[in-house]
Structure 1
Amino acid sequence: MKNWQEVFKLFLQGLYKAVSRFPFTVFCLAGATGIVWYTIYIEFNPTLYINKVAYALAVGAFIGMLAQFSIERFEKLAHKPIAVYALSLVLTAGYFLIILPAPELSAEITVRTFVAVFAMLCAILWVPSFKGETNFDKVALIHFKGFFTSILYSAVLSAGIAAILAAVDMLLFDINNDAYAYTMAFIWVMFAPLYYLSLLPKFHSREEYDFDAMQRAEYYPRFLEILVSYILVPLVGIYSLVLFAYFIKILLTMKWPVGQLGPMVLIYSAVGIILFILVSLLENRFALLYRKMFPKILIPIVIMQMISVGIRLNAYGITESRYYVALFGVFSIVIGLILSLKPLTKNGFIALLAAGFAIVSILPPVDAFTVSRVSQITRLEGILQGEGILADGKLTPKVNASENAKIETTNILNYLNRQSSLEYIEWLPEDFAIYDDMRETFGFAATYPNYTNEYRYFSAFLDTRVPINISDYDISLQFHSNRYEKDMTSQTVSFMLEEKTYELVVERLSQAEVKLSIQDATGSELISTGLYEFAERLSEVGEKHKSELSPDEMTLEVNRDGYKLKILFQSINMTFEPEPDAGVDYSGQVFFGVK
């Protein structure tokens, strides 16, 4: 019992020390927890203002950590802690004021925030090792252990409390369902980060308690050594062989990948570098071999990835994702070269370089969003100029533009619209809306590619807002015919007209062709027509997808011996290839008249 009491006492002391040591971070975490609780209480999505406050508090939590580690590392700052935390408050408030006027928390704001936080995290790892005062690899190990220990404790605590609440709810009395949400919010937003902070020792303290805490924190557990050396290192080695085999395949076939290689190599490189830092404290055979071989293996693999990325950039221009994949590739090559050329000493430069690359990626005019925007606008202008649609900064709509130009123009405009960047296109009309103004501005509607190379589609739909002229016709009937009907039997609808009985017969002749006819009471055919010729003729003009076509464009009329037949298609959906999916689906109205 004494041991349990002692452990619990140390646990509470650690949490108390974390609160007193990182006051600004704890304040931000408490504020974020309060916002999550408020969101749960109001039971609907918070306002944009509340979301911006939450973003600012998240950034402030990392600023507070960096501030505290700077105070502990630099003597000049140690004498001015109030000034440092006042600066932290100013930076957090400044970030909030920067995003406050934004009409939405766009992808640009989110990515810039994430990258800035990543740069601060790199600085948090590096500051304690400044000038070699503390081994960077040990600092990284302590943070690594603390992070996963906190995750494990929080997961166990979450499961335990959820089980207790469920038992009370079923066995004793009803518990509001929000109790689970409130509890999970506190555990993961407040407790988990706080417990993680409590596991971080004072790296430069000379007090006996802090020195002992540092000794315990930097201990390399045997289970972690086994995991890193004898499981993760071989797995990364095998993965390296797979990538090298793929590299050889590329050299033999001269067929470069079209996009799947980038994320794979990016993850491989990130995991490999983190693993390199972890094995730098070990001296077993696997660790020594990994430290010797990984930097040299990393370089050709990343070069292969960069060639693949270069092909994509040349074909489709720069986007944020390609920018960061390419940037991380350059970073990985630099790291590989440095680790290959220098003897093993300290790896703090890895965090420093990572922070530097991250900061460059969010500073105009070389930031990811500016470079991507300029690249895509330039590419769009080149496509439109090649089609003769754009000349001297003026647009001339062109109906018969090439299919590729229509698709690429639509894709680029959609991309720029998602990034709130249409306003940067000087020659584009103000308040341009893709779905409303494409045809008027460029001469064609928004056009999208087929999702697979093997299928070819066409579809057309009626604009139901336009009035329909039904004069000279006596009756209207609905019809539809699906290519996947189990059999090809006819569909018949009987109706009376001037005391005579007629039948509408919809006969599926094949997956593409449908015959539509009117018969009298004896079964004699009065008037008929096939539908496929009309659908095929419609598909030969314009885009692969037509919406809101006028009734005149969607109408097929037939006259015979005083009988009039008018088919107004509501939709036509065609698949040209491959078998067995090729065919046409029809739906619409049939108007029949007798002179």
Structure 2
Amino acid sequence: MKSLSIQQLSDGLYKGITRFPLAILSAIQFTFLVIYGIEADIDPGIWYLRGVHGAQLGIPLFIALTFFAESKNYNPIKKIGVKFGGVALLLLYLLTLPETLTFINFSRFVLLTLFAHLLVFIAPSLHKGYELHFWVLAKEIILTFIECVFYAFVIGFGIFVAISAVHFLFDININNKRYPEVMSFCLIFLTTIFFAGRMQGVNSKQNMVFDYPEILKNFTQFILIPLVLLYLIILYIYGGQILMNQDWPKGWVSYLSIGFSVLGIVSIILIYPVRNDENNKWIPLFNKGFLYTLFPIIFLFCAAIWRRISEYGITENRYYLIALGVWLFFISVYTLIKRDHFIKMIPMSLSVVCILSAFGPLSAFNVSKNSQLERLNDYATSNNWLDEDGYWDTSNEKKTPKEDVDQSRSIIKYLIKNHGYASIQPYLKDSIPDTLQGVDNKYAQSRTILQEMKLIQTSDYVKENRLNFYTTHQGVDIKGYSKYFTKEAQYLKRNGDKAISISKADPVINLFIENGATKLGTLIIGDQTYNIPFPDENEMLYKKKDFMMVYKSVNGIKNEEQNTTTLTAVTFTLFIK
């Protein structure tokens, strides 16, 4: 990379702003919303999340659209049309997001983020150019991004240390929120504007003469490839052991197979430009040998995944592993057929996988939901849990067989958590929204629906009583309180969570959950400590001189023999004077 003068830097920043205006506006919006969220300590609503997600997607999307327009040599009018077409698509997607976001929406966020970043590499290379052109451009994008992140991080870290110095040397009280706010500004806004100013223009006819970094060859030859060979030896020995013992492979082998495959493909990509050099005759041998050895690994990988699917069906995580296995197989075959013309296909095919996984009938969410519903239907049919009309028989408790009851409970909890209670509605005559009126917590929704379906706890839990308290608390007098914090904590028993962080500053507030007959836990506000009693169903409010705790929902397990109450989920609002 060429060195920069102050004049070149200022000229580059000016050209970057005029070249990537929408990407920089997205960075400004993203930075502002992140800092606002830190400063206000808010519970993110749908419009806040739409703004954050839209800005976060907008940065790579508008950079990609700029690259695409430049590679096509569009005139200014067409360039503007392409960019605002991207704005329209982004707004359409954001406005279709539901008021209450689910697991599916957040999973799509991740898939679309990966897709948008892949577009940065794909967009400028859609013309019928050389594969080497794509490699050079991708290298420039990655190295420029790493350089800009490094600059932004150093600036942020420097300001971080400066703020700390002012705080400790001059005894000036500085809010702890300043630190993440400064780092957010640097890593989001400065990285984007540095990249915009530093990234060279895209030209499909640019000169392909370049200096191949020797460090890439050394890194690949002496680090990546030995690691690939190490993984290969381990996986083949394990595969031989499986054949000898005639046993199914362990699920963990899937992740090792992924590591082996990814390292091998990255190695092939990094040494692609020098594969035909006279002094590098080992490279074509390695490429072909790796691809052929990859097929048995993919088979081992698929066998491990199939074992889990045959026992527990498809979930989103297993779907992604399946999709990755199919993609690896496709890339391996394509590379063997095309030989020197496969580089572009890697991000293109991966972007297609992202879109198919996020939307449509073949998406991770539809396939997983249908798989689990099919399992639930199998259990219901084999145990005669459905009446003549196909609805769930709620007249008798499903006490046996224990394994089928437990599996059905697990499926229903999964469906409600990931796909909402509407996925269970076809099995029940009564309207689930009516049954769940006033029950907002998903854990409590699962409990209520399971009770409705008579899928009771198995015998291990007979001596435990479930506590589910809910209230709307209309007309609570909040006059005189200056601050309030709303918190929702779930799965406290399962995850072993004990501390609920309510506020990290001004003052620091934490609630420490404790198991007992009457005590919910200990509330610490600054240097003051308060014992909080377990709420009563008829009294979902606890008031002291300096604060008031108003419960919306409380879920717990009461053990009659041990006289203890274990909190599993709680939603409350804490008002501070």
Could you tell me which of 360, 383, 387 is aligned with 2:383?
A: 387
Structure 1 equivalent of residue 262 of structure 2: 270
Which of the residues 128, 139, 142 maps onto 2:140?
A: 142
Q: Which blocks of at least 5 consecutive residues in structure 2 are unaligned?
A: 436-444, 469-555, 567-577
Counterpart amino acid of 1:438? L
| Structure-2 separation of matches of 1:69 and 1:148 | 19
- What amino acid is the match of 1:410? R
2:312 & 2:155 partners in 1: Cα distance?
A: 48
CA contact (8 A) 1:33 1:190 kept: yes
Cα distance in 1 for partners of 2:305, 2:562 equals 46
For residues 330 and 462 of structure 1, do their structure 2 counterparts lie closer, same or farther at Cα, with a shift above 3 Å needed?
Answer: closer
The residue identity in structure 2 corresponding to 1:67 is L
* Partner of residue 570, structure 1: 563
- Quote the offset at 1:186 in angstroms: 0.7
- Secondary structure, counterpart of 1:203 in structure 2: coil
The answer (yes or no) to whether the contact 2:334–2:342 under 8 Å persists in 1 is: no
Local SS of the residue matching 1:255? coil
Task: Name 2:453's counterpart in structure 1.
Answer: 441
Quick one: which amino acid aligns to residue 277 of structure 1? I
Q: Output the CA distance in 1 between the equivalents of 2:295 and 2:25.
A: 44
1:232 to 215, 224, 230: 224
Equivalent position of 1:495 in the other structure:
none
Cα displacement (A) at 1:178:
3.0
The residue that corresponds to 1:460 in the other structure is 463
Alpha-carbon offset, residue 427 of structure 1: 1.3
Percent identical among aligned pairs is: 24
Q: Structure 2 counterpart of 1:276, which letter?
A: I
- The residue number in structure 2 matching 1:98 is 96
Given candidates 303, 311, 323, the residue that maps to 2:299 is 303
Are 1:87 and 2:114 matched, yes or no? no
Q: In the alignment, what sits opposite 2:176?
A: 177
Change (3 A) 1:153 1:275: farther
For 2:367 and 2:241, the matched residues in 1 are separated by 33
- Number of aligned residue pairs: give it: 455
Q: When the two structures are superposed, what TM-score results if normalisation uses the length of structure 1?
A: 0.70
Deviation at 1:61, TM superposition (A): 1.9
Q: How far, CA to CA, are the matches of 2:84 and 2:565 in structure 1?
A: 67
Cα deviation for residue 64 of structure 1 reads: 0.6
Following superposition of structure 1 onto structure 2, how do residues 124-135 of structure 1 map, counting pairs within 5 Å? 124-129=120-125, 130-132=127-129, 135=133
Q: CA RMSD in A?
A: 3.0
| Residue 5 (structure 2) pairs with residue 7 (structure 1) | yes
Distance 1:336 1:46, change over 3 A: same
Which residue of structure 1 aligns with residue 108 of structure 2?
112
| 1:279-300 Cα distance to aligned partner (Å, 9 max, x none) | 1123435644432322222222
Once residues 325 and 378 of structure 1 are traced to their aligned partners in structure 2, the CA distance between those partners, rounded to angstroms, is 20
Find 1:63's aligned residue among 44, 61, 64: 61
Q: TM-score, normalised by structure 2?
A: 0.72
Once residues 413 and 165 of structure 1 are traced to their aligned partners in structure 2, the CA distance between those partners, rounded to angstroms, is 51
- The one-letter amino acid paired with 2:249 is P
Q: 1:169 to 1:349 in 2, by over 3 A?
A: same
| Per-residue deviation, 1:79 | 4.7
Number of the residue aligned with 2:38: 40
The CA deviation at 1:370 is 0.8
> Would the aligned equivalents of 2:152 and 2:187 in 1 still touch at CA under 8 Å?
yes
The 1:248–1:28 alpha-carbon spacing in structure 2 relative to 1, beyond 3 Å, is same
Q: Is the 8 A contact 1:299 1:332 kept in 2?
A: no
C-alpha contact 2:38 2:177 (8 A) present in aligned 1: yes
Q: Distance in 1 between matches of 2:68 and 2:565?
A: 68
> What CA deviation, in whole Å up to 9, does each residue of 1:517-571 have, x standing for no partner?
xxxxxxxxxxxxxxxxxxxxxxxxxxxxx9558xxxx6xxxxxxxxxxxxx7636
1:200 — aligned with what? 199
1:427 match: 427
Counterpart-to-counterpart distance in 2, 1:161 and 1:290: 47
Query: How far is the alpha carbon of 1:219 from its aligned partner?
Result: 4.1
Separation (CA, whole Å) in 2 of partners of 1:155 and 1:287: 36
Q: Which residue does 1:318 correspond to in 2?
A: 314
Separation in structure 1 between the aligned mates of residue 150 and residue 221 of structure 2, nearest angstrom: 22
Q: Determine which structure has more spread, i.e. the larger CA radius of gyration.
A: 1
Matches for 1:205-224 after TM superposition, within 5 Å: 219-224=211-216
State the partner residue of 2:28: 30
What amino acid maps onto 1:181 in structure 2? P
Structure 1, residues 558-595: CA drift from partner, whole Å, max 9, x if none? xxxxxxxxxx763699xxxxxxxxxxxxxxxxxxxxxx
Name the counterpart of 1:401.
400
Cα distance in 1 between the residues matched to 2:232 and 2:153: 33
2:160 to 159, 162, 171: 162
1:461/1:112 CA distance change after superposition, 3 Å: closer
The equivalent residue for 2:70 is 72
Which AA in structure 1 matches 2:136?
K
The answer on whether the counterparts of 1:383 and 1:409 sit within 8 Å (CA) in structure 2 is yes
